[in-house]
Structure 1
Amino acid sequence: MARYRGWVSEVLTPLEDFIDHHVDPRELYADLQEIAEGDSGSVFSAHVVGSVNSGSKDIKRENGSKVVAIKSIPLVPGGSQKLIDLKEEFSLMSRIRHENILSMDGMYVDLSEDCLWIKMELMERSLADMLQLSEEGFMLPEGVIAQFTKDTLHALAYLASIGIAHRDVRSDNLLVNPAGVIKLADFSHAVQWTSKSGAMKQGAVGVVYWQAPEMRHGPYDASKVDVWSLGATCWEMAETDPPFMDEDPRRVPDVWPPLSQPEKYSQSFHEFLSLCSSQPSVRPSANDLLTTSFIQGGCGRPFVQKVLADCKDIEDRIHRRQSVDSQGTIS
């Protein structure tokens, strides 16, 4: 990593096998616009203005019509735990290719601002973003809940087939693209297991409102917890908040409360929630849940795209209202 000055080279050492050291990312991506901010860095939309020619290091000019997401993580002298965690996450993600899982497609170093850039598919929004619009009267129809759940189950079934548990399934980590496809993101808490090592783990991770209760009570079977978390996310899609949101996080119950309007939802949805929240010893796998009648009732992509358009209309209305409130006129 000779192209990096002393401390930058040192902090990047854990990730040297994953970084494309031969490319200045600003020759590939331009017109960055911040779209999200997190604890570890910001996410930008960016236009693709160049690509690396296959078999060479030459840059091929692109017209900029394609847009991707770039996560920018600041580098600091001495390094950070986030970079060490990224090594584990990238090592894991190198094994994963699935249409319902958000992949990290490239890693670069932006020397102009001492940042690590991670290229990903640009997604429309998170499920959590959609649920926040409930204050404007937005609710997810049951058919959309079923379709989103089906996508997530496909991701979880695939992960289980290669011995991986996500351990942080929740609305913030379920992203939807413009085609209406849900993709599971953020594998920072994921773990692997093998038939030899087994799936028993210790230590609770993730966020307590979506956390399987057995994670808080000693050793647990990691292959079972994602189904519980998905069930909690289904409960959240119906209620717009996760279960136990008003409880002391140190004293979260082990059983979900009933839905506030149970009559609005089908018997198959109630049965699905019951299956997800069953004891680990009898809790169905993601693959088993794909055959349930609730999942078979998914609405399909065109209707999901219409719902996404409704979300955009609501957001536009909010922005116009905020403009009036701040300026007295619509700008």
Structure 2
Amino acid sequence: MDLDKQPKKDLIIDDILVMRASRHLNIVNYIDSFLHKNDLWVVMEYMEGGSLTDIVTVNLMTEGQIAAVSRETCQGLEHLHHHGVIHRDIKSDNMLLSLGGDIKLTDFGFCAQISDPASSKRTMMVGTPYWMALEVVTRKEYRPKVDIWSLGIMAIEIIEGEPPYLNQNPLKALYLIATNGTLTIANPEALSSVFSDYIAKTLEVDAEKWPMASELLQHPFFNLCEPLRTLSPLIKAAREIAKNK
């Protein structure tokens, strides 16, 4: 990265610091960084499968596969939250995969470090509008559990290929999230009852009722998880489509 062309250098530094301090199977592994003249080189684990976005925009996933993706993401969030880090930008773009189906969080530029995960709160509105929790949009005080809302939005994104309100401009989307609250999907009857309950738990309007990542991992939806290797054909299909464009 040419540092002269980076308007928000502090976000890059935050990204590096969080990755360096966060060693976990579901977080992209930071290796090293170097400054050469004015170029910053950051060496990270190579996730050759690309982003989850590449997959969900061209493939349909089973509930078991969605459960597996959600579980791996939630495990990464549990680790971050335990260490007082709020990711604040959970979405398919920031989930990277290996060819074998391993899933890891990346992009920590919007992270917030808090001293006490149980009581410390933030009020700054940061993230990507379509995945933002109500508390973040309305600038209310919030805890790490705001990432759980974004996890629920990501589940809808996987089902429908995009998050709610993506056809609206970002400001209109923020307004709709703030005023409409509960989000719905086009064909809720197509989901199993346990999947519907999982989405309802993650997208609960009352922030006090949001589960912590550690609690959410006990949800029966994760009993449906298929092996991560079942994602490999989807990754290969997405790569093939991208290659032929």
Whether these two folds match at TM > 0.5 is yes
1:127 aligns with 2:127: no
CA-to-partner distance for each residue in 1:64-95, whole Å, 9 max, x for gaps? xxxxxxxxx0133xx85433332233233332
Between the two structures, name the one with larger relative contact order (CA 8 Å, sep ≥ 6): 2
Alignment check: 8 A CA contact 1:127 1:171 kept: yes
The counterpart of 1:249, out of the listed 155, 173, 177, is: 173
1:83-122 equivalences under 5 Å are 83-111=9-37, 114-122=38-46
Counterpart contact for 1:199–1:223, Cα < 8 Å: no
Which residue of the partner structure matches residue 64 of structure 1?
none
Structure 2: gaps (5+ residues) = none
Deviation of residue 110 (structure 1)? 4.2
| 1:237 corresponding residue in structure 2 | 158
Counterpart CA distance in 2 for 1:142 and 1:274 is 15
Is residue 100–residue 232 contact of structure 2 (8 Å, CA) maintained in 1? yes
Change over 3 Å in CA distance of 1:232–1:194 after alignment to 2: same
Give SS of 2:23's match.
coil
Query: How far is the alpha carbon of 1:197 from its aligned partner?
Result: 9.3
Please identify the structure whose Cα radius of gyration is greater. 1
Give me the whole-angstrom Cα distance separating, in 2, the residues matched to 1:186 and 1:150.
19
- Residue 170 of structure 1 and its aligned partner are, at CA, apart by 0.7
Q: 150, 163, 177: which one pairs with 2:71?
A: 150
1:176 aligns with 2:176: no
Which of 219, 243, 249 aligns to 2:140? It is 219
Q: What count of residue pairs does the alignment treat as equivalent?
A: 238
Residue in structure 2 matched with residue 11 of structure 1 by the alignment: none
> Tell me, which stretches of 5 or more residues in structure 1 are unaligned?
1-72, 323-331
What is the CA–CA distance in structure 2 between the aligned matches of 1:106 and 1:196, rounded to whole Å?
28
**What is the distance in 1 between the residues matched to 2:9 and 2:184?**
41
Answer whether contact 1:146 1:299 (CA < 8 A) is retained: yes
> Map of 1:1-331 to 2, 5 A cutoff?
73-76=1-4, 80-111=6-37, 114-123=38-47, 124-133=49-58, 138-195=59-116, 198-247=119-168, 248-253=172-177, 254-278=180-204, 279-316=206-243, 319=244, 322=245
Displacement of 1:104: 2.4
- 1:75 and 1:164 mapped to 2: Cα distance? 25
Q: Using a 3 Å threshold, how does the CA distance of structure 1 residues 80 and 263 change in structure 2: closer, same or farther?
A: closer
Matched residues in 1 for 2:224 and 2:198: separation? 12
Once the two structures are TM-superposed, the CA of residue 272 in structure 1 deviates from its matched residue by: 0.4
Identity %: 27
Aligned-CA RMSD value = 2.0
Q: Distance in 1 between matches of 2:197 and 2:51?
A: 26
